[in-house]
Structure 1
Amino acid sequence: MPQGDKSKYTDKQKRQAEHIEEGYEKSGVSKEEAEARAWATVNKNDGGGELPGGSGRKKSGK
């Protein structure tokens, strides 16, 4: 089961995760696994939560 506080994510990131999760569920993945994969995908694409204090990594200034 996915852990962590999702309050640090933007509304857009939450919508993306929901959409990705639905796609996995249509493919026959369990609800729990689909949710975990969806949030992992959002984190991979965006680097985690974008709000102050989020779980994302700092991006280099290069």
Structure 2
Amino acid sequence: MPRGDKSAYTDKQKRQAEHIEDSYEHQGLSKPEAERRAWATVNKDSGGGKQSGSGRNPSNR
């Protein structure tokens, strides 16, 4: 998967990133910076990409 490919994310994660990006843009950030920060936030919150199965919760490690 090439860098920047968002196909590994769920629809919910993509929607979350879009809303976060809009919020950053509203605060005056440039589009590329807003997008970068939005995806960083989604990755921080969810661990990034699609994950399934037991034992995937980072708080259980």
Q: TM-score range by the shorter chain?
A: 0.7 to 0.9
Q: Give the structure, 1 or 2, with the largest relative contact order (CA under 8 Å, sep 6 or more).
A: 1
Letter in 2 for 1:37: R
Unmatched 5+ residue regions in structure 1?
53-57
> Percent identity, aligned pairs only?
65
Q: What residue in structure 2 maps to residue 18 of structure 1? A: 18
Point out 4+ residue stretches in structure 1 off by more than 2 angstroms: 58-62
Q: What residue in structure 1 maps to residue 27 of structure 2? A: 27
SS at match of 1:20: helix
Count how many residue pairs are aligned between Structure 1 and Structure 2: 55
Unmatched 5+ residue regions in structure 2?
none
- Looking at structure 2, the residues matched to 4 and 26 of structure 1 have their Cα atoms a distance apart, in angstroms, of 23
Structure showing greater Rg: 2
